[in-house]
Amino acid sequence: MKKPVLLSFIFLIAYFFQIQYAFANEPVGLTIKLTSGYIQGKSDKSGIKSFKGIPFAAPPVGNLRWKAPAPVVAWEGVKSCQAFGPSAIQAPPAPFYMWSEEFLIPKEPINEDCLYLNVWTNAKKTTDKKPVIVWIHGGGFSSGGASVPIYDGEKLAAKGVVYVSINYRVGIFGFFAHPELSKESPMHASGNYGLLDQIAALQWVKSNIAKFGGDPNNVTIAGQSAGSMAVVSLIASPLAKGLFQKAIAESGAGLLPRNPLVSKQALVGPKESEEQGKKAMESIGLQNLDQMRAVPAEELRKKASMRSGVIVDGYYLPESIEVIFNQKKQNKVHLLTGWNEDEGLVMGPYKKADAFKSDIEKQYGKYASELLKHYPATNDSLAVNSQNRLSRDLVFGAPNFILANLHSAQGHPVFVYRFTRVVPAYGEYKKFKAFHTGEVPYALNTLHLVNRPWEKEDWGLANTMSSYWVNFAKSGNPNVKGLPDWPAFNSKSLEILQLDKQVEKRKIPDAASLNFFYQQVYLN
């Protein structure tokens, strides 16, 4: 090749790579081109950019009701993404028990067309490759949404992550299984539509998050309560392979049923879920799927009553979560998990000591005497305390403890916390203490959005917890210079981090009670 031709070729290659670099290194502005079209967000005074109501799948309405999420329909022009999309169809939100309005979705919009997500970022360029946190809301798989005030992403984005919150179908729209649905499905499975929505959202993140300065290969999924159970099911699901590298599971694991000493089957299987679906259809007097899909969404919500939750469907979950973990088939991720001190779901009236002991003996048979050693009822006052602790441990403590043991025993990094801070409150809310969901505004640093008599220590705890969460997303290890050491968990040392006015590592205080469930269910 002659010298002038060679030089021209070199300049051409250099120009090509310069152009490629320029496109790859473009600034993160308020107008972004996604795979489906242009969107426009907004910026606050601190420079955090937010993009709300981004569609990540086609509206699951009409013939798409009870089908896996379809690809989002591309649009022309620039779509304004400055307000949350509708929450999934559910009962109108109203404060109850310990949950004031800051813990609930807005009263509107609520719509079956609900597959939207939201992004907050402080990235300057698309090459920043910031870690990504994808938040999955709670609500018992029958309520909730990404627009709940305490899930706001501004403060975590300010600490250096790209924060994403997602919607998914809930209730009968997200978890309705039926033989006809399984028959029409290419996967021969039905019922886990809300979970498939989460897969679709994570696939969207994989394809698009770099445009917001996020790293598609450094994604942490996080959730609380049902959101935490969804996180654990995603760790177990082969469909989620490669979509995330770390997981945060707050107060929910889904590895145990409510009575783990009576039945070892934690989740509903395909036959049982399809039978429940048939009963739901019969209860509203309909005969087939065409009729079911023709019923207006709000009418269907009011008329149909059924269980909502994870199903071992043979597709999203080929086997139960506990079997997948025991066979070491789960996705290999770093895990941060824990639960709260006072999140038992017994709201009263409480049973007297004799009645509580009698119920334990009837329900647990050969395990009763040992169980009463861990949850004693020698007097009425002690029986009340034991009912609260047992409720907490059956639903949250034991499942998350077992999750930590199973995952860490296989060599995966695990970090466990116990949130014990009595959340400040007014009036009737004072009695709920370190309640279920109470840790979320601390972890997401959103105390400023909750009407509570916060003390100086609460602001400090929120800053500390959110720093742990962000650093875990960055590196897979929550430890941050200047904060108390958080030791990795293992079944021998049983060390955890206690989150309270004083943050400190300690041995898990009720290990004997929790080990009782672990040994009976998994080690026998």
The residues assigned a catalytic role are 225, 343, 436
Cβ pair 150, 444 in contact under 8 A? yes
State how far the Cα of 41 lies from the Cα of 277, in Å rounded to an integer: 40
SS3 call for 116: strand
| Number of Cβ within a 10 Å radius of residue 144 | 27
Torsion over CA of 89, 94, 97 and 100, rounded to 10 degrees? 110
For the chain, the straight-line distance linking the first and the last C-alpha, in angstroms and rounded, comes to: 75
* Backbone φ and ψ of 144, nearest 5°: 95, 170
- Supply the DSSP symbol for 332: -
For 98, phi and psi rounded to 5 degrees?
-90, 0
Q: Buried (b) or exposed (e) across 61-78, using 16+ Cβ within 10 A?
A: eeebbbbbbeebeeeeee
Distance CA 398, CA 391 (A): 10
User: CA-to-CA distance for 327 and 238, rounded, in angstroms?
Assistant: 13
Total Cβ atoms within 10 A of residue 251: 29
Number of H helices, E strands in the chain: 17, 14
Placement of tokens 């310990």 in the chain: 98
Closest residue by Cα to residue 227 from 304, 170, 173: 170
Within the chain, what is the greatest distance between any pair of CA atoms? 99
**DSSP one-letter code for 87:** B
The Cα–Cα gap between 206 and 134 comes to 11
